[in-house]
Structure 1
Amino acid sequence: MSRKRFDKMNCSIARALEVLGDWWTFLIIRECFVGTRRFSDFQTNLGIAKNILSNRLQHLVDHGVLERVEVQQRGSRHEYWLTDQGKDLYTTLTALREWSDKWIMGKGKEPIVVKDSRTGKPVPPVKVLDYEGKPVNPKYLSIEPGPGADVETRKRFKRGY
């Protein structure tokens, strides 16, 4: 059974899932954030099959999340580095980790704690803020068609999303 494709959907979340929606993807990106660069280290740290890892790394390179960098003049030795696009996933990864710490792992059972290296203090939870910098309660958020909404998306909002 082939999986559903999201690359033609007029939805930012669906399109992001087309690039990031595999369970290995965020683990590979997590590894990059903690300094993993080499294929063999990804494989060891994740316990992932070589063919799957190779496919996922290439997919992330093809979509601009990772960059494959040659690190040796002779032979073919390379590393995988986060691009600016990949580094922008930090907030998403942080929010996902915080959600899991709260709802899956449980308070006091967090596997890692992220601290600001300048102060040594834990980084505060990710929040959606209003224009004045105050947290917004989800019940006050409204969702409406944006400038890239196609005709079908606009119809869905007219009849009730």
Structure 2
Amino acid sequence: MRRKSFEDMPCSVAQFLEVAGEWWSMLVVRDAFLGVTRFDDFHARLGISRNVLAQRLEHLVGHGVLARQAYQDNPVRYDYRLTDKGRALWPVLTAMRQWGDEWAAPDGPPLALVHKSCGHTMTAVMVCEDCGERVGPGQVRVSSGPGDPEGSVLPPHLRRKDRTPAE
């Protein structure tokens, strides 16, 4: 069964899901961050069928997340490398991994990210880029952005000024 497209939905979360929301997509991106670049290596690591992997790679290339670079001519074979757009998924993937570590890894995290500069295991946190303060859902309010001047994306209870999502 084919899922509904979010292409016309004026929501950045929906647009993310349109590009990378299919469940194999973020696993392909995860492996690309781990240095996997070749079709057969993605196939072996993921245990995904070859036709589904080919579709996922084509989709990610088509949306500019991965770039295909030929490394062999006869037959033509490609490396798949993250683009700037693909590398911008790092905080998303990191947040997903951290959630999985906390809520779905009973034996502990299967992977640690070690900060090269200080040598410590790092945890990503959200901070305000202006003041550096940690930010959670209770410390923000939502308002219409330039892509939604009428405020139609917000649910009605948030269309009034200065409301937080949890209120």
Between the aligned partners of 1:158 and 1:105, the Cα distance in structure 2 is 34
Deviation at 1:72, TM superposition (A): 2.1
SS of residue paired to 1:134: coil
Between the aligned partners of 1:157 and 1:75, the Cα distance in structure 2 is 51
Runs of 4+ residues deviating >6 angstroms = none
Aligned to 2:11: 11
1:148 aligns with 2:124: no
Between the aligned partners of 1:157 and 1:42, the Cα distance in structure 2 is 39
Deviation at 1:94, TM superposition (A): 0.6
TM-score by length of 2: 0.87
Between the aligned partners of 1:158 and 1:36, the Cα distance in structure 2 is 41
Structure 1: 5+ residue stretches without partners = none
Deviation at 1:4, TM superposition (A): 1.3
Structure 2: 5+ residue stretches without partners = 159-167
Between the aligned partners of 1:123 and 1:160, the Cα distance in structure 2 is 37
1:92-137 CA distance string (max 9 Å, x none): 111111111112215x610000001233211233223352101023
For the 8 Å contact 1:70–1:76, the answer to whether it is kept is: yes
Query: Match for 1:121: what amino acid?
Result: H
For the 8 Å contact 1:94–1:126, the answer to whether it is kept is: no
- Percent of counterpart pairs with the same letter? 39
Aligned to 1:159: 156
Aligned to 2:49: 49
Query: Match for 2:12: what amino acid?
Result: S
Matched ranges for 1:28-39 at <5 A: 28-39=28-39
Change over 3 Å in CA distance of 1:160–1:50 after alignment to 2: same
Is the helix fraction higher in 1 or 2? 1
Of 30-39 and 120-129, the range deviating more from structure 2: 120-129
Between the aligned partners of 2:52 and 2:135, the Cα distance in structure 1 is 40
Between the aligned partners of 2:63 and 2:99, the Cα distance in structure 1 is 26
Query: Match for 1:103: what amino acid?
Result: W
1:35-61 CA distance string (max 9 Å, x none): 101000000000000000000000000
Between the aligned partners of 1:38 and 1:99, the Cα distance in structure 2 is 28
1:128 aligns with 2:124: no
Change over 3 Å in CA distance of 1:23–1:95 after alignment to 2: same
Change over 3 Å in CA distance of 1:158–1:9 after alignment to 2: closer
TM-score by length of 1: 0.90
Of 97-106 and 13-22, the range deviating more from structure 2: 97-106
SS of residue paired to 2:72: coil
CA RMSD of aligned residues (A): 1.8
Change over 3 Å in CA distance of 1:66–1:156 after alignment to 2: closer
